[in-house]
Structures are given as C-alpha cells and as structure tokens.
Chain A
Amino acid sequence: MTDLLSWLLLLTGSGFVLTGGIGLLRMPTLYARLHAASLTDTLGTLLILLGIIVQAGFTLAAIKLIAIALFLLLTGPTASYALANAALLSGAVPKARLLDDL
C-alpha cells in the first residue's frame, strides 16, 4: 500500500518535472518559459519529495525532506518573481501587452 502510494507520487512528480523541462525548452517567449518552469518546479518537486517521504516513514530523513520541501516552496516562487521583475525592469515587454498596443 505504501509502495503503491509512493510509486504513484513519484511517477506523477516525474511526469510534472519532465513537462516542465519540455516547456522550458519549447515555449516561445521568456514569460511563457518562466510560467512553465516555475509552475512545475513547485508541483513536481513537492510530489517527488512527498513520494520519498512516504517511503521514508517517521525518521530523521523525513524531517530533513520536509525541510527541503518547505525551503524549495519558499524560494522557488521568490526566485521566479525576482527573475520576472528583473526582466520587466530591463525592458522585456510581455507579448500580450504588445498586442493590446496595436
């Protein structure tokens, strides 16, 4: 039962991580790439770490994994926001606004 749950979480997480990688490579604009990368960064990471936590049980390793998950959840969106902000400040205009101006 535990193995099945862990399998499911790890497989779903792997799928999300792969989707993020493909999106990062294939999306047309910077902001679309940012969206693909940041969205799957948090979800894929959380699912894979949850899968390992289920496998680890109540041990010190599980506590460390929870700390890693919390830290990644805190820093991932912050880094994405800082990146988008820096890109916007340096003059990269999102495509949608360009279409509105026309």
Chain B
Amino acid sequence: MYTVACIAILITMILAIIRALAGPSVYDRVLAVNMFGTKTVLLLSVVAFLYGRPDFLDLALAYALINFISVLAVLQFFENKPTDGDRASEEIR
C-alpha cells in the first residue's frame, strides 16, 4: 500500500527534476525545487511507515523547515536582482 504512494511520489520527483533542468526561467526552477522539497518530506513520511521506522518523521519535519526557509531566501535573492525589463518578460513565460 505504501509502495504505491512511494512510486507515485518518486515519479513526481523525477518530473520536477526534469522541469528544474529544462525550466525556461529561474522561477520555473525555483518552483520545481520547491515542489521537489515538499515531495521529499512526503516521501520521508511514507518511507517511515513503509520500513516501520517512525524516527524518519523527525527528519521529515526538519527537512520541511529547511526547505521553506531556503526557498524564501532564494526568492528574496532573485527578487532584489535588477533585471532588464524587456528581456525578463520575454524570458519568463
């Protein structure tokens, strides 16, 4: 039962990696990485019950915290970066 959820999450993580590698703009990449992090938390929770080791839940909680902070930090960095208007609107679509 957990295996099905595990496989679905893993496939989604692969799709997110493809989008992160292929994403036309930097925001696509940040979005994909954010989703990858959320799915990592989910995968850790499912794996904790798949292998019967509830200790993994602490790791999932810690990873959720780190992921959120890192995404906000990266966004702050890119938000303040001066971008050339035309090029940016051409690039991000």
Contacts and interface: CB of A to CB of B under 8 A. Distances in A.
A52 B1 CA distance: 10
Interface string A64-80: 11011001100110111
Contacts of A37: 31-32, 34-35
Sort chain B's interface into a size bin: 35 or more
B46 A48 contact: yes
B8 to A, nearest CB: 4
Which of B16, B32, B45 has most A Cβ within 10 Å?
B45
Chain A: interface secondary structure? helix
B76 to A, nearest CB: 8
Interface in B32-91: 32, 34-35, 38-39, 41-42, 45-46, 48-49, 54, 57-58, 60-61, 64-65, 68, 71-72, 75, 78-79, 81, 83, 85, 88-89
Interface string A52-96: 100110011100110110011001101110110111011111010
Interface of B: 1-2, 4-5, 8-9, 11-16, 18-19, 25, 27-28, 30-32, 34-35, 38-39, 41-42, 45-46, 48-49, 54, 57-58, 60-61, 64-65, 68, 71-72, 75, 78-79, 81, 83, 85, 88-89, 92-93
23 contacts: A13-B5, A14-B9, A17-B9, A17-B12, A21-B13, A22-B15, A25-B19, A41-B38, A48-B42, A48-B46, A49-B45, A52-B49, A55-B49, A56-B49, A60-B54, A71-B68, A79-B75, A83-B30, A83-B34, A86-B78, A92-B25, A92-B27, A95-B93
